[in-house]
Structure 1
Amino acid sequence: MARLLADEQFPRKSVELLRTFGHDIITIQETGKAGISDDMVLEFAILENRAVLTINRRDFFKLHKIKPDHTGIIACKNDLDWNRLAINIDAVISTESTLIGKVIRVNRFPSTRL
């Protein structure tokens, strides 16, 4: 299962469901680092060997271009169906052998990789 770091805006209900799927996921709030910048979130994820879960797609796409040697970015479309969001994330990352250096897009429907 994947090691994940949910950024500040990521839905808590989806985090909880991903945990029931067996993923090792923490939130930025749980680390005591709420309010840090997106680039610092990515740096912290790298230090912790975790992929970032975010709905802040544009900013993290830009960060990927600047720093492509990260531990993974899972960029999700904002989906108010938190169960569907978690199921889609699990389905996509479960097929990946590694998340390192990848940006994975998770949409409301079928998901794709960059």
Structure 2
Amino acid sequence: MSAARLYVDEDVHSAVAAQLRRRGYDVTSAGESGNLGASDGAQLEFAAFQGRAILTFNVGDFCRLHTEYIRTGREHCGVIVSDQVPIGEVVKRCVRLLSTLTADELRGDTQFLGSWR
């Protein structure tokens, strides 16, 4: 059972990644990875290649991408979508999710961060 690793896309403030790292989680961001401006599909591909679930505020596009991955038999490491709430709330919900679900449990799944209040 390995801990999930996280990739934060550019819609989510980089402070989320920094605060999660301070709490001991393995997190990187689009900015740190040189992926600012990349398409949503490229962001998800990068996260999957790196073995990371992706955290995004872009619910519609990433739910569509998740469905496309399932339809075409591709695998990602998890999609975590959130409404735009304060940074501290995003961090708190992520901590709950990441301390509960393993990387294997997130693989190929979509989680709505609002369920982790």
Give the SS at the match of 1:66: helix
The number of residues matched between the two structures is: 109
TM-score (norm 2): 0.86
- Confirm whether residue 104 of structure 1 aligns to residue 90 of structure 2: no
* Equivalent-residue separation in structure 2 for 1:14 and 1:46 (angstroms): 20
Structure that is richer in strand per residue = 1
Choose which of 50, 53, 62 in structure 2 pairs with 1:51. 53
Identity of aligned residues (%): 31
Q: Gaps (5+ residues) in structure 2?
A: none
Question: Highest relative contact order (Cα 8 Å, sep 6+), 1 or 2?
Answer: 2
In 2, Cα distance between equivalents of 1:19 and 1:2: 13
Deviation at 1:2, TM superposition (A): 2.5
Gaps of 5+ in 1: none
* Contact 2:19/2:91 (<8 A) preserved: yes
2:100 partner SS: coil
Runs of 4+ in structure 1 off by over 6 angstroms are: none
Q: State the Cα RMSD in Å.
A: 1.5
Give, in angstroms, the shift of residue 93 of structure 1: 2.4
